[in-house]
Chains A and B, each alone.
Chain A
């Protein structure tokens, strides 16, 4: 078996954008492993929530997410780079498999990674709680605000997932039928509203995770950018 049978051809093309992206991921992962910052003053780093070992599965959740698929298929694999029919967009000389190749079939398993993501979500709420109460009193600091923002964005991201849309009504031919029809309809409609903004949540929640990580790293490095906004003696 040679490399072309396993990897999609797009990985083997000269493609600076794709290579620099992979490099970025590798550097990021190396930084996480070589310079682990698990916790600082009650702030638990989001990459350790609950454990670094979960990252591959969460990574697969994002990789098989329809929002990210659109972005990497266009901008990293150039299938197609843009919609106007320009020669630079794509070409028939490039092999193309979509999600039919052995490697890309994994995109069909998105829902399983979504289940894991759902299960991980409560840990972020717990971390937020810890950051607010770690000193025995309720302290609201800048870091907790960032973590709060992060957990809200993550929740919106996971709950706006296309697989959840399928689960809460997309798969039903008659989503207004049966018992508690009104409630099911409302759930499906609200989820569809969130789903429209799935891509925005996908990117914002990725940025917010990195922001929280960098914030905690900065604190660990002795850069004092955190401050107390209010505290309440419990």
Chain B
């Protein structure tokens, strides 16, 4: 049995426009989309560009749009006799399935880094539950599928920093030893208000991080504490907490 795989081909250096090209690939039991794409690049057309590393859903390199849904190619099994694979359209195209995700590293640098306060009696102690809470966000493999699926990133030209970077901020904000609050900055500088909590990001996350529920909404609520809630602001001032 053969699988018909339609792959987006576009070399910005020579082609004006991209197009989907069909390839027939012999099907093997348990075949992933990445296996089929690699078959094409090894045996049919070696000029096909594709990025991958681990083949085990750990490195996040093989992110693509499979039948229009952002997914990891190595983690997606082929289950029908045809499949469409395109690059992540939220990012500038380098060639074929490879996109330029550099902007994400600049964004990560724009989030204030971990800034510990004073250690109590010289020893850092953390409660296990607090570790677990921010550990959820550290599972991120930086595949940027969440950024790709987010309609704000794809379609609307705003200053929203995007779901991956909100969980980055949340993972430091919710660290008990950190002394800063990034929620106001997220709201005012990083466009958190553009997220309309439609949860597509958490639906596609291969690490099943509850991006919207555990990072975005809590950060929105923290920002509301600081900006829209004078009572909370007053209480915090009196108690001297950040």
Q: Is A62 part of the contact surface with B, judged by Cβ < 8 Å?
A: no
Contacts A79-B196, A175-B129; A111 near B229 (Cβ below 8 A) = yes
Please report which residues of chain B, range 129-153, place their CB below 8 angstroms from some CB of chain A when the two chains form the complex: 129-130, 133, 148-149, 151-152
Whether A176 sits at the interface, judged by CB under 8 Å, is: yes
Q: Say yes or no for A74: interface residue by CB 8 A criterion.
A: yes
* Contacts A66-B217, A170-B218 given; does A108 touch B176 at CB 8 Å: no
Provide the bound-state CA to CA distance between A83 and B148, in Å.
10
Find A70's partner among B69, B193, B199 (CB 8 Å cutoff).
Answer: B199
User: Cβ of B196 and Cβ of A69 under 8 Å apart?
Assistant: yes
CB of A167 to closest CB in B, whole Å = 9
Please report which residues of chain A, range 154-199, place their CB below 8 angstroms from some CB of chain B when the two chains form the complex: 162-163, 165-166, 170-171, 173-177, 181, 185, 195-196
Interface flags, A83-124, vs B, CB<8A=1, else 0: 111100111101011111000000011110000000000000
Contacting pair B221 A163 (CB below 8 A): yes
**CB atoms of A173 and B178 under 8 A apart:** yes
CB-based contact B155/A92 at 8 Å: yes
A contact residues around B154 at 8 Å (CB): 85, 92
Question: Do A96 and B130 form a contact, CB below 8 Å, given A173-B176, A195-B213?
Answer: no
Interface size of B by Cβ–Cβ distance < 8 Å? 49
Question: CB within 8 A of B225: which of A94, A166, A173, A181?
Answer: A166
Chain A interface main SS type: loop
| Interface bin, chain A | 35 or more
List of B residues within 8 angstroms of A111 by Cβ: 221, 224, 229
Query: How far does the alpha carbon of A66 sit from the alpha carbon of B214 in the complex, in Å?
Result: 13
Contact B196 A165 (CB under 8 A): no
A100 to B196, CA, bound (A): 10
Using CB atoms and an 8 Å cutoff, list the residues of chain B in contact with chain A.
65, 67-70, 89, 127-130, 133, 148-149, 151-152, 154-158, 160, 173-176, 178, 191, 193-200, 203-204, 213, 217-218, 220-225, 227-229
